[in-house]
């Protein structure tokens, strides 16, 4: 007997038929003897309609009222799922964020979870009742409804799993797991049976959009085992596979991963633009003068590279920003040249970041050298290199994306047999 949180997104609950299919998935787990809490999103399309109404009423709506309006979508699904479960003879009840309560801060529209009082939920689960929980929402210190921001249902699910000490949090998605890379680029990509939290964090934030980054962070902090699987599986399909689980990917502590690969996957992100400041004064305070104004303009800076200066007086500073913010970032930096003091500003928006990710590379030398050699052999110029303990990222021209990803996927032995 285990305690499981199951999470279903908008397309999985798009209509009553799909909700009834979700109920069958839940029934299977209940009949296997598990205690189940289900976290649901709004029915596909509903949230967009609600957001459109808010905008129509006022372009700059109050986020607290936006939350009251938009959170109703998940509320509806939670009640309908409870009804669908009752219809299968399963005890179930709906829970809104304020009923758990799932407490958040007051940042309406993108609130952060502050805590979960899991006692009422746990009591219901112990008595054999399935809790159908409206995802994406909580209650603020002022007693107002607060939403966690788009994709917040993943975060809700993981937070609730932590709050009720669940054995596992199953995320049902459009895909059947986490792959070694994007299968649209590399047909030989393989599904990973297990991925470490840290790897998933790098994969997710680098473009493998299976799970919200926030939810992976939360899972890592609270050590919640997250299992990503397809919501299109037949509810009565055999539930066997690696580790006794059905086809999917378990995101877990690295200690649970017995046979670690050196490299787990190749991620890429096209949402990058490169900016280079040349002839920057090499003195304290310059970095602050560059990145302070960008932060104030709410522009996220990603890769930052600065080399030792040749002459001890000036250096070059390169970093990336989201493509959508590229022009605004250039304008901000041009306006700030007085304070920064650079000779020249360069940039490019037709660049892609390709990353090699793997827990195993901590203990294996030569992983980076192998990548650089392979890229060079294929005539791919590397603009910027940035590394962390478990990943190597390179910035290259967009035109070389597919070639680079395929090459790296192959040289680290990730191709399917």
**Nearest C-alpha neighbor of 223 from the set 265, 260, 256:** 256
- For a copy of itself, which is the closer residue by CB, 93 or 209? 93
- Distance of alpha carbon 50 from alpha carbon 364, whole angstroms: 51
- 3-state percent helix, strand, coil for the chain, nearest multiple of 5: 40, 25, 35
Nearer to a copy of itself, 3 or 144 (CB): 144
Among 3, 93, 191, 209, contact with a copy of itself (rule: CB under 8 A): 93
Task: Work out which of 94, 137, 153, 155 binds a copy of itself, going by CB under 8 A.
Answer: 94
Q: Binding of a copy of itself at residue 98 (CB under 8 A)?
A: yes
Single residue of 14, 24, 44, 50 touching a copy of itself by CB under 8 A: 50
Is the backbone of residue 412 left (phi > 0), alpha (psi -120 to 50) or beta? Answer: alpha
Q: Long-range contacts of range 118-125, CB-CB < 8 Å, 24 or more positions apart?
A: 118/160, 118/163, 118/164, 118/165, 121/37, 121/95, 121/160, 121/163, 121/164, 122/164, 122/165, 124/93, 125/3, 125/35, 125/36, 125/37, 125/164
Torsion sign, CA atoms 181, 182, 188, 190: positive
Smallest gap from Cβ 37 to a copy of itself, in A, equals 16
* Number of residues near a copy of itself (by CB under 8 A): 38
Contact 297, 328 (CB under 8 A): yes
What 8-state DSSP symbol labels residue 262? S
Q: Does 66 bind a copy of itself (CB under 8 A)?
A: yes
Tokens found for residue 388: 């962390």
**Which of 116, 145, 252, 257 contacts a copy of itself by CB under 8 A?**
145
Query: Smallest distance, Å, CB 134 to a copy of itself?
Result: 9
Q: Give me the phi and psi of 393, to 5 degrees please.
A: -115, 140
62 is an interface residue for a copy of itself by CB under 8 A: yes
247: contact with a copy of itself by CB under 8 A: no
357 Cβ neighbours under 8 A, 6+ residues apart:
199, 202, 203, 206, 263, 264, 265, 266, 267, 390, 391
| Helix locations, 270-312, DSSP H | 286-296
Interface stretch with a copy of itself, choices 96-104, 243-251, 284-292, 396-404 (CB under 8 A): 96-104
- How far is it, in rounded angstroms, from Cα 225 to Cα 344? 49
Of the candidate residues 11, 44, 64, 332, the single one contacting a copy of itself (CB under 8 A): 64
Nearer to a copy of itself by C-beta: 5 or 84? 84
Query: Where would I find the H helices in 97-225?
Result: 119-126, 152-163, 197-205, 213-222
Among 2, 31, 48, 57, the residue binding a copy of itself under the rule CB under 8 A is: 57
End-to-end CA, the chain: 36
Q: Judge whether 38 and 172 are in contact, CB under 8 Å.
A: no
**Identified binder of a copy of itself from the candidate list 53, 300, 344, 369, rule CB under 8 A:** 53
Under the binding rule (CB under 8 A), the answer on residue 372 touching a copy of itself is no
Binding of a copy of itself by 22 (CB under 8 A) = no
In whole angstroms, the minimum distance from the beta carbon of 22 to a copy of itself comes to: 11
Nearer to a copy of itself, 74 or 176 (CB): 74
Q: Report the residue from 3, 61, 235, 322 that binds a copy of itself according to the rule CB under 8 A.
A: 61
Of 68-76, 158-166, 193-201, 382-390, the window that binds a copy of itself (rule: CB under 8 A) is 68-76
Q: What is the DSSP letter of 399?
A: G
Could you say which residues in the range 124-143 bind a copy of itself, by CB under 8 A? 143
Copy the structure tokens of residue 209. 């959009």
Residues between 72 and 91 with contacts to a copy of itself, criterion CB under 8 A: 72-73, 75-76, 78-80, 82-84, 86-87
E strands along 302-390, which residues? 304-306, 314-321, 344-357, 384-388
CB 138 to a copy of itself: min, Å? 14
Minimum CB separation of residue 123 from a copy of itself in Å reads: 13
Give yes or no for residue 389 binding a copy of itself (CB under 8 A): no
For residue 368, state whether it binds a copy of itself (rule: CB under 8 A): no
Residues that bind a copy of itself (CB under 8 A): 16, 19-20, 50, 53-54, 56-58, 61-62, 64-69, 71-73, 75-76, 78-80, 82-84, 86-87, 93-94, 96, 98-99, 143-145
């Amino acid at each position: 007997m285990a305690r499981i949180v199951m999470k279903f997104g908008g397309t999985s609950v798009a209509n009553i038929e799909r909700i009834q299919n979700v109920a069958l998935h839940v029934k299977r787990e209940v009949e296997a003897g598990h205690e189940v809490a289900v976290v649901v999103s709004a029915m596909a399309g509903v949230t967009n309609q609600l957001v459109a109404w808010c905008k129509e009423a006022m372009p700059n709506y109050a986020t607290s009222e936006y939350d009251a309006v938009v959170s109703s979508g998940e509320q509806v699904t939670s009640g309908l799922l409870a009804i669908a479960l009752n219809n299968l003879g399963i005890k179930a009840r709906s829970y809104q964020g304020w009923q758990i309560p799932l407490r958040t801060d007051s940042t309406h529209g993108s609130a952060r979870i502050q805590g979960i009082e899991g006692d009422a939920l746990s009591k219901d689960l112990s008595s054999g009742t399935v809790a159908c929980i409206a995802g994406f929402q909580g209650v603020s210190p002022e007693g107002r409804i607060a939403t966690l921001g788009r994709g917040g249902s993943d975060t809700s699910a993981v937070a609730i799993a932590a709050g009720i000490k669940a054995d596992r949090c199953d995320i049902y998605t459009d895909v059947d797991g986490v792959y070694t890379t994007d299968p649209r680029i590399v047909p030989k990509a393989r599904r990973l049976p297990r991925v470490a939290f840290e790897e998933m964090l790098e994969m997710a934030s680098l473009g493998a959009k299976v799970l919200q980054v926030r939810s992976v962070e939360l899972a890592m902090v609270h050590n919640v085992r997250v299992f990503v699987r397809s919501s299109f599986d037949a509810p009565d399909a055999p539930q066997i596979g690696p580790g006794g689980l059905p086809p999917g990917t378990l995101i877990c502590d690295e200690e649970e991963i017995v046979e670690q690969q050196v490299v787990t996957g190749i991620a890429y992100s096209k949402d990058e633009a490169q900016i280079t400041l040349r002839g920057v004064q090499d003195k304290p305070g310059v970095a602050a003068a560059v990145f302070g104004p960008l932060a104030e303009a709410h522009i996220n800076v990603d890769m930052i590279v600065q080399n030792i200066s040749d002459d001890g007086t000036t250096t070059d500073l390169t970093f990336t920003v989201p493509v959508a913010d590229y022009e605004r970032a250039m304008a901000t930096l041009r306006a700030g040249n007085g304070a920064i003091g650079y000779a020249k500003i360069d940039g490019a928006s037709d660049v892609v970041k390709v990353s090699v990710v793997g827990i195993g590379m901590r203990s294996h030398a030569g992983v980076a050298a192998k990548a650089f050699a392979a890229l060079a052999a294929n005539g791919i110029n590397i603009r910027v290199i940035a590394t962390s303990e478990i990943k190597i990222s390179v910035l290259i021209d967009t035109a070389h994306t597919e070639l680079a990803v395929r090459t790296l996927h192959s040289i680290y032995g990730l191709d399917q047999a």
